[in-house]
Chains A and B, each alone.
Chain A
């Protein structure tokens, strides 16, 4: 009998405590971010869309080997010895011409394993996250160019990556 009334009392007490807590939250500031108007500032290390600075790519294929989901596709051509020598921006000579460098971002698992082995740091993950598209096909990012438009000067500082 004592337990019966104690239980009722306890129920009322704990319910009132709960009500007090939710009441106090009614007047605390909401933590919602109103997305399209207010944008989240991503930290600099954020791993979002991949970007390849193709002018610096030496076609070594280390990123392709590192990718656990096989979403990077690359083909290269050997350059003629007689042609003008090309250099990546950190001075590495480019001996292979990258004729195809495709990344299927719909397959990418954003693990960042491809960017670490890159010897010229030309493949980076950027903090850009708004790249939704309407068809899967548009997720295929093609970085290779027909002819590299700008040849880097070996003297320019090398791009940093995290």
Chain B
């Protein structure tokens, strides 16, 4: 909060004379607006990028018309289309839950943005339990997914919702264990502390350290499943479940799911960067540039995987989580703990 408070102090001469309640909430509001702008802007770029990446991997061109240069305005046009579309709610749907679900999903993704450390200064709120907060708040999304699946009164949507619940809950565990291997050497849950622990050159990044190297891959696979990307996109497997939990959604409500999905893609990549790839650390360029650049690389990797791999089946998905990732993650946590004991001595 301090970062935005200082900006306000500099830019707004009379800020100190404001009532204290305004002094408290105005920086918060500003921070939220910045996050919202990020969440809204990122999908515009990411969707375009995904289309282009997929197209070129398939020897196509992708969007080429809207806006001129390589169809850069295609996503904006699509967004306008979604906004102006008729809002359809199925007759048999649970109206309240149906309307609420996209918001819950969106809020879950959006709220986690406040603890992302874009630079040493630029962080909306450096909570001392930052990473725990991320894990907790991003699990809110699954509630929204189940709500959507149930409220649609559609069997495909229900299938999708149930699959999503099972999948996200299962993959939460190896993911959190992988996070733990980072938290143990750092000794803090704060995002900034984790980044600062990786200062001083590329080799200090956690990805280049013995235990956390493997933890990175577990974390990455786990988050891939949590944001429903191929090969773990079974909740919205279009060849089986048409569109999964958002089968019945259209127009703006669908756009919210879509926004949330892409925002989540960025979110998990950003967390991976924070935890393993040195956060905003990097030479020559300012912190936020490095942070976003690294995150975009990981987003690209997600797209690359999506356009290469087939999809797993539900039982195989569970197998990967419980029988492959989880044992390895446990071993890694054990190893991290042992190393911490040896290097730092008993507490």
Contact = CB atoms under 8 A, between A and B. Distances in A.
Direct contact of A and B (CB under 8 A): yes
Interface of A: 8, 15, 18-19, 21-23, 25-32, 34
B59 A22 contact: no
A18 B305 CA distance: 9
B56 A26 contact: yes
A-B residue pairs, 5 tightest by C-beta:
A32-B61, A18-B308, A22-B308, A22-B57, A30-B61
A22 B61 contact: no
A32 B59 CA distance: 8
Contact of B59 (A8, A19, A23, A30): A30
30 contacts: A8-B324, A15-B305, A15-B308, A15-B309, A18-B308, A18-B309, A19-B304, A19-B305, A19-B308, A22-B57, A22-B304, A22-B307, A22-B308, A25-B56, A25-B57, A25-B59, A26-B53, A26-B56, A26-B57, A28-B59, A29-B59, A30-B56, A30-B59, A30-B60, A30-B61, A31-B59, A32-B59, A32-B61, A34-B61, A34-B64
B338 interface: no
B132 interface: no
Interface residues of B, number: 15
A27 to B, nearest CB: 8
Contacts of A26: 53, 56-57
B55 interface: yes
B256 to A, nearest CB: 30
Given A8-B324, A26-B53, A32 B308 contact: no
A7 B345 CA distance: 38
A109 to B, nearest CB: 31
Interface string B319-337: 0000010000000000000
A63 to B, nearest CB: 41
